[in-house]
């Protein structure tokens, strides 16, 4: 069996990627908290066909990004990468802690770019490989109240679409995955009140993963999951940009007004 690496693998969307990929791959799970990784492994192992291994890295740190990139480059069986680790912050940009905002860029953008670079170099030699970079519906919107998060996801989407075209002639499949509201701990970590959003807007992480892997088989460059999110993304392309900005700001508003 070949090896798949999933970052942010201990919970949420990452854990569901591990569960699905473990049917066909040995999966290396990466995140910071080793206890949570081991818990995820214990949960998934009974249904897994491949081996599951935990690697603890804080991918907001340059050294960790480089160390993991070296591991990918040295793994002869490396075939699939899911760059999923990411977090969001909410609030007016000027009032947020700058160090945390910069860490968000380090994790959501720099780690993803570093690992994508390592993966592409190896996959080009093998003329085969798969990369899923987790962006978001937020990548289609400038979002007042979540300016850095939406900007990081716009970067991931644009970067990944470009890489998709570059990689295609080498037999490498690259996808920007754009989920909308997905049940996980993400919102609690970001300080977002989940009950603010109606239930029809939410997907389960397993649905997101199923749609992503199905789209990967047909080498779709961008996978927007769920019909509601596809509708939202379609509208953003039709409405005046000022309406899109203001609408996204209302959507992100966590002040309770
Ligand atoms: N949930 C949504 O509504 C939604 C919507 C669109 C896009 N997304 C995107 O989907 C991805 C996964 O989100 P999720 O909802 O599954 O989030 P989650 O439930 O909060 O899980 C985040 C995962 O990333 C790991 N992580 C966080 N900081 C890390 C760091 N510095 N280094 C390494 N690993 C780190 C976490 O483990 P540790 O804390 O132990 O490191 C955890 O495994 C993110 O990129 C997010 O932006 C989510």
The residue ranges of every structural domain in the chain are: 3-252
User: Rounded to the nearest whole angstrom, what is the distance from the C-alpha of residue 238 to the centroid of ligand 1?
Assistant: 30
As a whole number, mean pLDDT of residues 114-128 equals 98
Q: Round to whole Å and give the CA distance between 126 and 29.
A: 23
Q: Which CATH class is domain 3-252?
A: alpha beta
Q: What is the pLDDT of residue 257?
A: 47
pLDDT of 256 strictly over 60: no
pLDDT, position 254: 61
Q: What is the mean pLDDT of the chain?
A: 96
Q: Is the CB of 181 under 6 A from ligand 1?
A: yes
Measured at the CA of 56, the angle between CA 71 and CA 96, to 5 degrees, comes to 110
Q: Between 232 and 252, name the one with better pLDDT.
A: 232
94 touches 48 (CB < 8 A): no
Per-residue confidence at 255, pLDDT binned at 50, 70, 90? low
The alpha-helical segments, DSSP class H, found in the chain are: 12-21, 34-44, 62-74, 98-105, 112-126, 147-167, 186-190, 205-217, 227-238, 241-252
pLDDT score of 251: 84
Is residue 16's pLDDT more than 90?
yes
List residues with catalytic annotation.
149, 153
Averaged pLDDT, 24-31: 98
pLDDT at 196: 87
Query: Which of 30, 54, 116, 186 for a ligand 1 pocket mutation test, highest count of atoms within 8 Å of Cβ?
Result: 186
């Amino acid at each position: 069996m070949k090896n798949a690496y999933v970052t942010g693998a201990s919970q949420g969307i990452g854990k569901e990627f591990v569960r699905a990929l473990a049917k066909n791959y040995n999966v290396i799970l990466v995140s910071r908290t080793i206890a949570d990784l081991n818990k995820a492994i214990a949960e998934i192992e009974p249904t897994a066909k491949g081996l599951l291994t935990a690697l603890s890295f804080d991918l907001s740190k340059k050294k960790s990004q480089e160390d993991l990139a070296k591991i990918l480059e040295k793994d002869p069986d490396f075939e699939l990468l899911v760059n999923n680790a990411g977090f969001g912050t909410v609030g007016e940009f000027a009032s947020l802690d700058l160090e945390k905002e910069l860490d968000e860029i380090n994790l959501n953008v720099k780690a993803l770019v570093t690992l994508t670079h390592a993966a592409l170099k190896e996959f080009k030699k093998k003329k085969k490989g798969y990369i899923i970079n987790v962006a978001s519906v937020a990548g289609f919107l400038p979002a007042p109240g979540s300016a850095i998060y939406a900007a990081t996801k716009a970067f991931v989407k644009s970067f990944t679409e470009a890489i998709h075209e570059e990689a295609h002639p080498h037999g490498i499949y690259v996808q920007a995955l754009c989920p909308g509201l997905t049940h996980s701990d993400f919102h609690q970590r970001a300080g977002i009140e989940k009950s603010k959003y109606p239930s029809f807007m939410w997907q389960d992480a397993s649905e997101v993963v199923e749609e992503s892997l199905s789209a990967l088989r047909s080498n779709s460059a961008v996978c927007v999951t769920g019909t509601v999110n596809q509708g939202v993304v379609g509208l953003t392309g039709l409405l005046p940009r000022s309406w899109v900005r203001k609408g996204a700001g209302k959507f992100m508003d966590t002040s309770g007004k």
